[in-house]
Amino acid sequence: MAACTTTQNGTATPSQTDSVTPSTSDPDSQLPGAGVPGVAIPIDTTQFQQKPCTTLTDAQIAELLGPNVEPKEEQTGEAGPSCFWHPKSVTQAAVSVIYATKNRRGLTSIYQQQGTTFPLFIPMDPIDGYPTVAYGQADLRSKGNCAIALGTSNQDIVDVSVGLSEGNIGKKDPCAAAHEVAATVLNNFRAR
C-alpha cells in the first residue's frame, strides 16, 4: 500500500383503454447511464455506512499514515457518512472514505459531470471488476491529493481520497495511492 442512460428502440402504439399508465421515470431503471461501467455483483456497504471508521483497520491506517492516528467520523456529511484519518505529526498526509448515500446515482452522477463540475476525470483500472474513476472539481495531483470513486453498485459509490505527505509529493502518484487504498477498502468489504 502507498500512503499517502440507456435508450430503448421501439414503436409507440396508442392504448386500447382510457387508463393512465404510470411513467417509468425511476432513476434507478436507467443506471448505469450511457458509457458508465456497470457493477455486476453489488456489495452491501450498510454496516460500514453505520460505522465508516471501521472501513479501514487500525493496522491499515498505521501502515498508511503512521501510529496513533485518531479517526474522525461524520454521519451527517453533505454526501453521506464518512471517516477522515489525519496524523497529528504530518501536516498534509490524510485518508478519507465517504459513502455517497445522498445521490444514489452511483458512478453515473460523476460521469455525467465530467468536464463541467469535475474537470479532473480519469477512468482507472477496475479493482476485481469494480469500476473506479479519479475525479475532482480541480486537479490537485501536483499538490499530492486525489479522490477515487469506487462503484459498489449501480446506485452507490465509495469515495476514497488520499493526501500524500509532503515528502511524497512529486514522488508518488496520489491517484495511484488512492486506487491502492480503494483496493484495500474493497477487500475489507468482502472480508466482513
Task: State how far the Cα of 109 lies from the Cα of 107, in Å rounded to an integer.
Answer: 5
Q: Is residue 148 part of a domain?
A: yes
Q: Is residue 142 part of a domain?
A: yes
The string of DSSP codes covering 63-132 is HHH-SSPPEEEESS-SSS-EEEE--SSSSS-EEEEEE-TTT--HHHHHHHTBTTTBSEEEEEEEETTEEE
Q: Is residue 97 part of a domain?
A: yes
| C-alpha atoms less than 13 angstroms from C-alpha of 168 in its C-beta half-sphere | 23
- Cell numbers placing 67: 501510529
List the helix and strand counts (H, then E) for the chain: 4, 7
Q: Is residue 13 part of a domain?
A: no
Radius of gyration of the chain (CA): 19
Phi, psi dihedrals of residue 191, rounded to the nearest 5°:
-75, -20
Q: Is residue 57 part of a domain?
A: yes
Task: State how far the Cα of 97 lies from the Cα of 56, in Å rounded to an integer.
Answer: 9
> What's the CATH number where 69 sits?
3.40.1000
- Count how many domains the chain has: 1
Walk along the chain (192 residues) and give the pLDDT tens digit of each residue. Answer: 444 433 334 333 333 333 333 334 444 458 776 778 999 999 999 999 999 999 999 999 999 999 889 999 999 888 899 999 999 877 789 999 999 988 788 999 999 999 999 999 999 999 999 999 999 999 999 999 999 999 999 999 999 999 999 999 999 999 999 999 999 999 999 997
Domain containing 130 equals: 46-191
Query: What is the pTM assigned to this prediction?
Result: 0.81
- Note the maximum CA span of the chain: 73
| C-alpha atoms less than 13 angstroms from C-alpha of 38 in its C-beta half-sphere | 11
On whether the CB atoms of residues 147 and 107 are closer than 8 A, the answer is no
Q: Find how far residue 54's CA is from the centre of its chain.
A: 16
Q: Is residue 15 part of a domain?
A: no
Q: Is residue 177 part of a domain?
A: yes
Q: Is residue 117 part of a domain?
A: yes
pLDDT at 29: 57
